[in-house]
A = this chain, B = another copy of it.
């Protein structure tokens, strides 16, 4: 079983490995792209909410609404795509054994993103950010890299889980 696992990893990531150690993964995955996409969705919600405060939208404001809505949509697709890539390409049996919650967490991110795409709902989109931060935390833990939380250095200034580097 272990042999099988190593053999598969072998096939997948190295086309010429002499070393038996593969603690150094070969592809570049970084959950920050997912996190930035969720922050962008939150930002779009903020801006749409500001339009909501208006009593009546001018045609230009309607066009702006269409732009904001389109951008939220696009970022939502990105959240799903980037999450699928890390889940489907990086997570293999060892990581799944270590974090048995990963399948359900990933699926919940998908459902929550659908909700965030279909609605204009800040608090629910914030819950999506929490899920995605947990996803990032698991990812970095699986690589033995500690994490910390800090507000994003740009709007919407929400808590994001970052790896401790340097």
Considering the complex, give the chain B residue whose CB is closest to the CB of A58.
B52
**Is A148's beta carbon under 8 Å from chain B?**
yes
Q: When the two chains form their complex, are residues B154 and A12 in contact, meaning their CB atoms are under 8 A apart?
A: no
**Is A40's beta carbon under 8 Å from chain B?**
yes
Point out the residues of chain B lying under 8 angstroms from A30, CB to CB.
Answer: 32, 36, 154
CB contact under 8 A between A148 and B119, given known A50-B16, A89-B110: no
**Is A20's beta carbon under 8 Å from chain B?**
no
CB contact under 8 A between A13 and B64, given known A5-B50, A40-B28, A103-B107: yes
Q: Top 5 nearest A-B pairs by Cβ distance?
A: A88-B110, A150-B166, A103-B103, A150-B165, A63-B69
CB distance from A50 to the nearest CB of B (A): 5
Q: When the two chains form their complex, are residues B50 and A9 in contact, meaning their CB atoms are under 8 A apart?
A: yes
**Is A29's beta carbon under 8 Å from chain B?**
yes
Question: Interface on A for B, CB 8 Å cutoff?
Answer: 5, 8-9, 11-16, 24-30, 32-33, 36, 39-40, 43, 46-48, 50-54, 57, 59-67, 69-70, 73, 80-81, 84, 87-89, 91-92, 96, 103-104, 107, 110-111, 113-115, 117-120, 140, 143, 145, 148-155, 162-163, 165-166
CB contact under 8 A between A66 and B66, given known A88-B80, A88-B110: yes
Q: What are 21 contact pairs spanning A and B, CB under 8 A?
A: A8-B47, A9-B50, A11-B118, A13-B118, A13-B119, A14-B115, A15-B51, A15-B61, A28-B43, A30-B32, A30-B154, A32-B32, A60-B120, A62-B62, A66-B70, A67-B69, A67-B118, A88-B107, A88-B113, A89-B110, A153-B165
